[in-house]
Amino acid sequence: MIPGLRLTVVEFAVVLASVVLVLARWLPPAARRRTAAGAAAVAIAGAAWTMPGPRWQILLVLGADLLAGMATGAVWLLGRRTGRGGRRAPRWLALPGSLLGVGLVLVGAVAAGALPVPTFPRLSGPSAVGTTVVQWTDPARAEAATPDPADRRTVVVQLWYPARQVAPDTPRARYLGRTRQEADTVAAAVAGYLGAPGFLLDGPTRAHSHAVLDAAPAAGRFPVVLFSPGLGGVRTQNTAWAEDLASRGYLVAGIDHPYDSAAVVLADGRTVATRIAASGDPDEDDRRRISWATVRAADLSFVLTQLGRLDSGELAGPLTGRLDTARAAATGHSLGGAAAMRAAQRDPRFTAVINLDGGLDADQGPLRQPVLVLTHAVQDQADADYVARVAKVLDGGRATGYRLSVPGSAHLTFTDAPLYLPPVRALVGSLGAVHSVRMTADTSAAFLDATLYGHAADLTTTLAEHGDLTVHRPAG
């Protein structure tokens, strides 16, 4: 990936060669043929490299090459018929054609840079990272989203964990899904949930992260971090964050919540689409939000139980004896952050909480656990009201709470979105893709190291380096 342009080297070569090819018509005859032939060779080689299935942005660029080639061929044929083989297209015709060709190239290049294939930042910790996907059904809970009382609540969970070192050329796990088909399904569903056409998210479907699928776990026992995504979000939406924490010694469990997540692909191949929808009535929407958060909180507790069974060997798997579920954090983004706080309020097994820019339910009470709340900068009265609600909950807590307001951040700053969405401040903030991921991972790791590992580092100083920190200490 070329920094700043967010294009791969091959894509940049295709773009540059295409510009030269389109403009070669304006060179002197002697240079024109050699230059056009060289540019065409580079463009063709680059296009072949991206096959099969080049990105749609690169197809726009290649469309300009095709137009230039067709125009050259048409002029050549016309010259053959009229006996004027050296003739070029008249300027009044060539100029609009060249402008159109360059325009197509630039549109394709800008679109490719704005919606790139995400490149995941280098891991901060010493460990390699493994990942696996499991599906668990809770026999004690009916599925509230379906009318059949026999349906049981099922969740799909992706685990990221410290792994033994692997060879550099070992294949890496695909982003957004176990297979390209699953990644395409999830990307299309997420785009549809956001009201955007599915092809806009074709970059993430092509990406691979740092983790190795089903890699052998490293030695030791790992504290566990459970993660609930945002409303309509999917288990992989914070992969960069999850992998970075795993490289530092944690097991991270990202949860797909069926009928809530944009799309959940089950083990049998069925896809469960979201049924989340606003009613337009504020009171009814508040009720629904509390209901969704309550189901998610129960999912978090259930997954913690399953991780305990996995550690004890009651559930088979290579992570037996590796999971320290006595040190467990409930975390989440947006609605998932609210669900994490609700889960911690109801389940004392959680020993720490991280809320990544998540709202709070009206009935959210103080917590006994230490809490870290990351928020975007306060910009209006709605933000100020939200901060006041957070402060009220943290002030009443029985352990120290931290609220970190990050300047230059937006709601999606705390996810993987800065890696593949356009760098528009309102969408992903102004911190930059790599710094956004680093900030979220570093602050989370500092908090977890202090609360789960008991490291004696100066947590307040570390957190304050990233924004405006408010510390809420328990009364007495």
Give pLDDT tens digits for 398-420. Answer: 999 999 999 999 999 999 999 99
What residue numbers bound the domain in which 35 lies? 9-114
Task: Tell me the two tokens of residue 453.
Answer: 């590992």
Among 87, 114, 141, the domain-final residue is 114
**Mean predicted confidence (pLDDT) in 231-258:** 97
| Rounded Cα–Cα distance for residues 369 and 341 (Å) | 10
Higher pLDDT, 108 or 163: 163
Of 14-18, 143-147, 242-246, give the lowest mean pLDDT range. 14-18
Q: Are residues 340 and 232 in the same domain?
A: yes
Helix (H, G, I), strand (E, B) or coil at 279: coil
Q: Are residues 29 and 152 in the same domain?
A: no
Q: Are residues 24 and 170 in the same domain?
A: no
Asked whether residue 1 is domain-assigned, the answer is no
In the predicted structure, residue 229 carries a pLDDT above the cut 90: yes
Side-chain half-sphere CA neighbours of 274 within 13 A: 23
DSSP 216-275: PBPSS-EEEEEEE--TT--TTTTHHHHHHHHHTT-EEEEEE-TTTSSEEE-TTS-EEE--
Percent of the chain with pLDDT over 90: 65
**Mean predicted confidence (pLDDT) in 53-79:** 64
| Rounded Cα–Cα distance for residues 325 and 338 (Å) | 21
Asked whether residue 377 is domain-assigned, the answer is yes
In the predicted structure, residue 47 carries a pLDDT above the cut 90: no
Task: Tell me the two tokens of residue 286.
Answer: 């508040």
Q: Are residues 28 and 157 in the same domain?
A: no
Model pLDDT for residues 448-457, shown as the tens digit of each residue: 999 999 987 7
| Rounded Cα–Cα distance for residues 185 and 190 (Å) | 9
Directed axis angle between helix 239-247 and helix 433-451, to 10°? 50
Closest Cα to residue 468, out of 409, 385, 381? 409
Beta bridge partners of residue 361, listed in sequence order: none
pLDDT of residue 265: 97
Task: Tell me the two tokens of residue 460.
Answer: 């307040």
CATH of residue 420's domain is 3.40.50.1820
Task: Tell me the two tokens of residue 278.
Answer: 């606003």
Confidence category of residue 258, pLDDT binned at 50, 70, 90: very high
Mean pLDDT (the chain, rounded): 89
Confidence category of residue 91, pLDDT binned at 50, 70, 90: low
Q: Are residues 411 and 307 in the same domain?
A: yes
pLDDT of residue 37: 76
Q: How many domains does the chain have?
A: 2
**Mean predicted confidence (pLDDT) in 358-380:** 92
**Mean predicted confidence (pLDDT) in 296-310:** 98
| Rounded Cα–Cα distance for residues 225 and 220 (Å) | 16
**Mean predicted confidence (pLDDT) in 190-203:** 88
Phi-psi region of 171 (alpha: psi -120 to 50; beta: other; left: phi over 0): beta
pLDDT of residue 398: 95
Q: Are residues 26 and 150 in the same domain?
A: no
| Rounded Cα–Cα distance for residues 373 and 170 (Å) | 37
Confidence category of residue 42, pLDDT binned at 50, 70, 90: confident
Beta bridge partners of residue 354, listed in sequence order: 331, 372
Q: Are residues 189 and 318 in the same domain?
A: yes
DSSP 367-395: -SS-EEEEEEPP-SHHHHHHHHHHHHHHH
Model pLDDT for residues 122-167, shown as the tens digit of each residue: 999 999 999 999 999 999 999 989 999 999 999 999 999 999 999 9
Closest Cα to residue 331, out of 218, 466, 223? 223
Higher pLDDT, 230 or 282: 230
pLDDT of residue 249: 97
In the predicted structure, residue 9 carries a pLDDT above the cut 70: yes
Q: How far is CA 361 from CA 21, 32, 68, 246, 339, in A?
A: 58, 67, 59, 30, 9
Asked whether residue 120 is domain-assigned, the answer is no
Asked whether residue 3 is domain-assigned, the answer is no
Q: Are residues 54 and 150 in the same domain?
A: no
Confidence category of residue 325, pLDDT binned at 50, 70, 90: very high
In the predicted structure, residue 92 carries a pLDDT above the cut 60: no
Q: Are residues 67 and 205 in the same domain?
A: no
Confidence category of residue 28, pLDDT binned at 50, 70, 90: confident
| Rounded Cα–Cα distance for residues 407 and 467 (Å) | 6
| Rounded Cα–Cα distance for residues 229 and 224 (Å) | 16
Asked whether residue 318 is domain-assigned, the answer is yes
Q: Are residues 196 and 336 in the same domain?
A: yes
Q: Are residues 92 and 139 in the same domain?
A: no
In the predicted structure, residue 228 carries a pLDDT above the cut 70: yes
Higher pLDDT, 27 or 157: 157
My answer on whether omega of the bond before 52 falls inside 30° of 0, hence cis, is yes
Q: Are residues 93 and 158 in the same domain?
A: no
Among 80, 114, 148, the domain-final residue is 114
| Rounded Cα–Cα distance for residues 78 and 85 (Å) | 8
In the predicted structure, residue 262 carries a pLDDT above the cut 60: yes
* Residues ≥6 apart with Cβ < 8 Å to 364: 338, 341, 342, 345, 389, 393
Asked whether residue 4 is domain-assigned, the answer is no
Task: Specify the DSSP element, H or E, that contains 160.
Answer: strand 152-163
Model pLDDT for residues 306-318, shown as the tens digit of each residue: 999 999 999 999 9
**Mean predicted confidence (pLDDT) in 300-309:** 98
pLDDT of residue 4: 66
Asked whether residue 123 is domain-assigned, the answer is no
**Mean predicted confidence (pLDDT) in 237-250:** 98
Among 114, 139, 164, the domain-final residue is 114
pTM for the whole thing? Answer: 0.90
Asked whether residue 454 is domain-assigned, the answer is yes
| Rounded Cα–Cα distance for residues 302 and 146 (Å) | 19
